[in-house]
Chains A and B, each alone.
Chain A
Amino acid sequence: MPFDLTIFSGSLMIRQAVDEVLECNDGTKHYALVLNEQQAVELIETRSCSLKETGRFEFGGGVINKLINVFCSSPFIMQDNYAEIIHELIEIFYYFKNETLDRMSDDDLIKFMKKSFDGQCQSSLELVKGRELERLSRRIRYGNDFEYIKIYGEEKKADND
């Protein structure tokens, strides 16, 4: 009887994750963004592949919901490119979760991605990935968290206030 983490990637888990992703539609309807069941299943598949490629393990809907809830307010995302962008964001997220050595929380990493996507990168995921996140992860890997703290210190302070 095999008893390792692979037993938890069964259909029950996938169903649960798909339901959690579809629940996000309640919040994104406001931005005219909706995912159908097929798209939700595909997002879960992308997540599974990304997790496998990056050697990570996740519970429930996990980060897809967080990405959707943050990026749905982006002026660059419309129904036409919605699912496609979320697919790419999922791949980028897990890759840079490893590259930043797990030292950034999910929320901080997503916030950084959103800020870059809407700001300097003007919706170019290539720039978000190849320039902004690369630079950030390099700094974190070399132990220079100063820039990261500078970027988010004030925002976090404002959030707490």
Chain B
Amino acid sequence: MTNAIERHISINTENLSGEFYFQSFLTEAYEQHEISETELETIQLDCFKLLAVRTESYNNGASSSVQIEVAQVIMASNFFTIGLYLKSLPDLQTALQALKNEPIADQYQKGLKIVCRKMNVARHLYYLVCSSRIESMQYFYNVAIDEDLKRFLKNYNLEYEAHEVTTLIDYQLMNPVSDLAGVEYLVHYLHNLSLENMFCAKFKPAVILAVMHEYDHQYKELPVNFFEQVLLNALGCVLLRKDIEAPILTAADRQEMISIIQCEDGTSPFTLLNNTADLVIESLSITSLPLKAYIKAALPVLISSF
């Protein structure tokens, strides 16, 4: 049995960036005096050596120099990959020890393995999204699945541009992915989209299309989110005591719903909507915890849109 007392480290997680994790971690560790000037220089020199090796590999050894933009991209990619490794460690203390004691090249190699694993996860999630997709003619949704995401998976350069979001996906999610880059962004986007599809799959396709038509008859050309409209209608149906299996609210119903939410005595709109969301979850027999959490996370956005 060890009685060692773990030293408290003063790195503030709020100052760590999800997108630029390595850089922010190093900066925070240095500013909080968790790493010394000498250790920082050693890490920087190791990063430089790694950059030299990666650049040589990029050039196939044919050129000793590269355009500065290329070097910067490779360096950002290296940082992203190392950052993924540090993020994967159980806590900040372990991450700090790894940063200080493990050679940067080893950290990079471990990070690269994580990138590969995340790519496999992304491929699986893409398969889930395809198999649960909503049958619709909506342009943005279909392009996102048939072209953008497929292109992202195909073009993602995990060795030299691991941090890049190579393809812009125009279909906006109800809960957008932010502060993430590269394969992490892709995995979260696909995860969220699969949850949205999972929720919409609780309704008949004809009902979803009717909801979208009710929202705007030109919805096929609009970058409108399916999940948002279907959830809004489901919440409305519960509030107005209508059949949730066929949630088609008219414009008048929507107005009534808004007035109920805003005028309910003694209850805040969020609490009311939260309770209604619980009823929706129960009515649709939703057991998936991530989907429940996703629905709850969407509520503040819905309230702000009223």
Interface residues of A (CB under 8 A from B): 1, 3-5, 7-8, 12-13, 51, 55-60, 62-63, 66, 94, 97-98, 102, 105-107
Q: Is B147 an interface residue (CB 8 A)?
A: no
Q: Is B282 an interface residue (CB 8 A)?
A: no
Contact call A57/B30, Cβ cutoff below 8 A = no
- Interface size classification for chain B: 20 to 34
Contact call B44/A57, Cβ cutoff below 8 A = no
Given contacts A59-B55, A60-B52, contact A5 B72 (CB under 8 A): yes
Contact call A97/B65, Cβ cutoff below 8 A = yes
Query: Chain B residues near A105 (CB, 8 Å)?
Result: 62-63
- A60 partner, pick from B26, B64, B67, beta carbons under 8 A: B64
Contact call B68/A56, Cβ cutoff below 8 A = yes
Given contacts A3-B23, A3-B26, A3-B44, contact A55 B68 (CB under 8 A): yes
Closest 3 CB pairs of A and B: A105-B62, A58-B65, A62-B64
Query: Chain B residues near A106 (CB, 8 Å)?
Result: 62-65
Q: Whole-angstrom distance between the alpha carbons of A5 and B52 in the complex?
A: 12
Q: Whole-angstrom distance between the alpha carbons of A56 and B55 in the complex?
A: 12
Interface residues of B (CB under 8 A from A): 23, 26-27, 30-31, 40, 44-45, 48, 51-52, 55-56, 62-72, 75
- B65 partner, pick from A1, A3, A13, A56, beta carbons under 8 A: A56
Contact call B67/A66, Cβ cutoff below 8 A = no
Query: Chain B residues near A66 (CB, 8 Å)?
Result: 64
B20 closest partner in A (C-beta): A3
Query: Chain A residues near B56 (CB, 8 Å)?
Result: 59
Contact call A62/B68, Cβ cutoff below 8 A = no
Query: Chain A residues near B62 (CB, 8 Å)?
Result: 105-107
Query: Chain A residues near B27 (CB, 8 Å)?
Result: 1, 3
Q: Whole-angstrom distance between the alpha carbons of A19 and B56 in the complex?
A: 21
Query: Chain A residues near B45 (CB, 8 Å)?
Result: 12
A101 closest partner in B (C-beta): B67
- A8 partner, pick from B48, B65, B69, beta carbons under 8 A: B48
The listed residue with most B CB atoms (<10 A of its CB), out of A1, A7, A105, is: A1
Contact call A102/B71, Cβ cutoff below 8 A = no
Chain B's nearest CB lies how many Å from the CB of A150?
20
A108 closest partner in B (C-beta): B62
Q: Whole-angstrom distance between the alpha carbons of A73 and B68 in the complex?
A: 32
B45 closest partner in A (C-beta): A12
Chain A's nearest CB lies how many Å from the CB of B53?
9
Contact call B64/A59, Cβ cutoff below 8 A = yes
Contact call A56/B52, Cβ cutoff below 8 A = no
Contact call B66/A56, Cβ cutoff below 8 A = yes
Query: Chain B residues near A98 (CB, 8 Å)?
Result: 67
A58 closest partner in B (C-beta): B65
Query: Chain B residues near A62 (CB, 8 Å)?
Result: 64-65
- A57 partner, pick from B23, B26, B40, B66, beta carbons under 8 A: B66
Given contacts A57-B65, A58-B65, contact A7 B71 (CB under 8 A): no
